[in-house]
C-alpha cells in the first residue's frame, strides 16, 4: 500500500492532538514536569506488552550512534518545551513548532541524502505557513507578533530551539529505524527516554512527585499515556515508509486538529480567523500526497 504512511501519519496526528488536549486539562491542576513524566510512564505498559512480539534486529554502530545522540536532544526538547509553555503565552510559542518541517527540507538532505520534489517542498512550506497562522490568535497585533516577541518572551526563543531540535531528532530517528526496525526503535527509545527523563523530573518537581498518587494526576494521565504509546508506534512506522520532511509535515496537521479540540473542549474562540491557516495546511497536504 503505497500511501500507508499517510494514514499512519494522520492517525499519529490525531492521537497527538487528543493526548495534548487531555494533558492540557491535567496541567490546570498539576505540575508540568509531573505531567510530562506521567505521560511517558503511562505509555510504557502498552509498549512493554508489544515488546515480546517484536523481533530484535541486528544492531550496528550507526543505530547506537543515532539512538544515543537523539536521547539528550529529546530530553532537552522536553525541558525547553515545558519552559516555553510555562513562561510565555501559547499564541507566541506554538507557531514556532511549524518551523520543524522547514528545517526538514534541508537537514535530511545533509545527513541522509534525502531529496524532496519541488511540489513536495511547496507542500511542506504550505503546511508550515498554515501551522504558523493557526496559532497567532486573531491577529490583534501583527502576523509577525511571535517573531517580534523573541526580544521580550523567552518562551518564543525556547520554542524555536525545540523546533530545531525536533528536526534533528526526526532525522536521527529515521537513521535508527533504517538500522533496526520501526517497532523496535519506537518501543526501546520511549523506554530509555523515560529512564533518562525521570531524574530530571524528580529534580525539578520532587515535592510534587511525592504526592503524585494522591493528587489525581495518574488518573488524569492514563488515557494520554495510552494514546502516546500508539502515537509513537504509528509515528515511527510512518517515518520508516517515507521521507522525513513529508511525514513530519503531515503529522503537523495535529495543530489543525488541536484548534478544533480547543474550540470543542475549551470553548476557545477565533475559529473563523484561522480559516487561512486551515486552507494552507490542507493545500500543503494535497501537494505532498498527490504531487510529491
Which residue ranges make up each domain of the chain? 4-291
Residue 233 is predicted with a pLDDT of: 94
Among the ranges given (156-160, 229-233, 267-271), the one the predictor scored with the smallest mean pLDDT:
267-271
Percent of the chain with pLDDT over 90: 35
Mean pLDDT of the chain: 83
d(CA 62, CA 70): 12
Query: Taking the mean position of all CA atoms in its chain, how far away is CA 237?
Result: 15
**Taking residues 88-98, what's their average pLDDT?**
67
**Taking residues 92-103, what's their average pLDDT?**
76
Give the pLDDT band (50/70/90) at residue 210: confident
Residue 94 is predicted with a pLDDT of: 67
Residue 143 has pLDDT above 70, yes or no: no
Residue 138 is predicted with a pLDDT of: 46
d(CA 178, CA 239): 10
Residue 123 is predicted with a pLDDT of: 85
Tell which wins on pLDDT, 210 or 69.
Answer: 69
Residue 274 is predicted with a pLDDT of: 65
d(CA 248, CA 238): 9
Length of the chain in terms of residues written = 292
Burial of 186 (0-12, 13-18, 19+ CB in 10 A): buried
Amino acid at each position: 500500500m503505497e500511501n500507508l504512511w499517510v494514514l499512519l501519519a494522520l492517525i499519529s496526528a490525531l492521537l497527538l492532538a487528543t493526548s495534548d488536549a487531555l494533558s492540557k486539562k491535567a496541567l490546570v491542576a498539576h505540575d508540568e514536569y509531573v505531567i510530562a513524566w506521567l505521560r511517558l510512564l503511562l505509555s510504557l505498559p502498552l509498549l512493554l506488552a508489544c515488546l515480546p512480539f517484536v523481533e530484535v534486529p541486528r544492531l550496528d554502530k550507526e543505530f547506537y550512534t543515532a539512538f544515543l545522540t537523539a536521547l539528550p536532544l529529546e530530553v532537552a526538547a522536553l525541558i525547553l518545551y515545558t519552559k516555553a509553555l510555562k513562561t510565555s503565552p501559547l499564541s507566541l510559542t506554538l507557531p514556532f513548532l511549524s518551523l520543524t518541517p522547514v528545517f526538514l527540507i534541508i537537514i535530511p538532505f545533509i545527513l541522509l541524502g534525502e531529496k524532496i520534489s519541488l511540489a513536495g517542498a511547496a507542500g511542506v512550506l504550505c503546511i508550515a505557513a498554515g501551522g504558523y497562522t493557526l496559532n497567532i490568535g486573531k491577529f490583534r497585533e501583527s502576523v509577525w507578533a511571535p517573531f517580534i516577541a523573541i526580544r521580550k518572551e523567552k518562551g518564543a526563543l525556547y520554542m524555536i530551539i525545540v523546533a530545531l531540535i525536533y528536526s534533528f531528532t526526526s532525522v536521527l530517528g529515521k537513521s535508527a529505524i533504517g538500522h533496526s526496525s520501526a517497532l523496535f526503535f519506537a518501543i526501546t527509545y520511549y523506554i530509555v527516554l523515560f529512564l533518562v527523563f525521570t531524574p530530571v523530573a524528580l529534580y525539578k518537581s520532587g515535592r510534587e512527585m511525592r504526592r503524585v498518587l494522591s493528587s489525581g494526576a495518574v488518573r488524569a494521565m492514563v488515557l494520554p499515556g495510552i494514546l502516546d504509546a500508539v502515537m509513537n508506534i504509528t509515528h515511527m512506522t510512518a517515518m520508516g515508509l517515507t521521507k522525513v520532511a513529508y511525514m513530519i509535515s503531515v503529522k503537523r496537521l495535529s495543530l489543525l486538529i488541536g484548534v478544533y479540540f480547543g474550540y470543542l473542549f475549551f470553548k476557545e474562540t477565533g475559529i473563523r480567523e484561522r480559516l487561512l491557516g486551515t486552507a494552507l495546511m490542507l493545500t500543503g497536504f494535497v501537494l505532498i500526497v498527490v504531487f510529491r
